[in-house]
Amino acid sequence: MQITRQTEYGIKTLLELAQSPEGQLISSKTISERQDIPETFLHKTLQLLSRAGLVVTQRGVQGGVRLALPADKITFLDILNAIEGPLAINICLSPGYSCEKMQTCKVRKILARTQAAIATELSRETLADIVNERGEG
């Protein structure tokens, strides 16, 4: 499993927004320049983040992007789910997947424990935690 470039851009974008004063709109051009993200790619990423309820966008001269939730309510798992969809390290762990051996499959049980551990770790820290770490170090 590897996090895609788009998820990386989503993380960078949300960290940029988390560092701005609460409620302040930041232009996508500013985000693009500060985080070295191609603007067209950033727009696609912002659409996914907006659909997931993580950012709010406003068009117009005074428009821009801001966090839809406080930075201490957004985890890396939220970002991963917004960009990639639900975490599934194997097809058998995908939502809605059905297999007749699901209840007895020993491999699935191991993978499920692994996936749960990954989800727990990705949920452990919020954007606010990361921003505060940057300020301290």
pLDDT in tens, 29-87: 999 999 999 999 999 999 999 999 999 999 888 889 999 999 999 999 999 999 999 99
| Residue 116 pLDDT greater than 60, yes or no | yes
Rg (CA), the chain: 17
For residue 117, is it within any domain? no
- The contacts of residue 97 (CB under 8 Å, 6+ apart) are 88, 91
The model's pTM: 0.86
For residue 73, is it within any domain? yes
Confidence of residue 136 (pLDDT cuts 50, 70, 90): very low
Report the chain's mean pLDDT, rounded to a whole number.
91
- Name the least confident of 4-13, 51-60, 77-86, 127-136: 127-136
Question: Which residue range forms the structural domain that includes residue 34?
Answer: 5-85+127-136
Average confidence (pLDDT) over 8-29: 93
For residue 95, is it within any domain? no
Residue 134: per-residue pLDDT: 54
For residue 120, is it within any domain? no
Give the CA distances from residue 137 to residues 46, 82, 127, 131, 134, in Å, rounded to whole numbers and listed in that order: 29, 29, 16, 10, 5
For residue 62, is it within any domain? yes
For residue 112, is it within any domain? no
Closest C-alpha among 68, 81, 88 to residue 17: 68
Average confidence (pLDDT) over 95-113: 89
For residue 31, is it within any domain? yes
CATH of the domain at 40: 1.10.10.10
Residue 1: per-residue pLDDT: 63
Residue 135: per-residue pLDDT: 45
Total structural domains in the chain? 1
Average confidence (pLDDT) over 114-124: 95
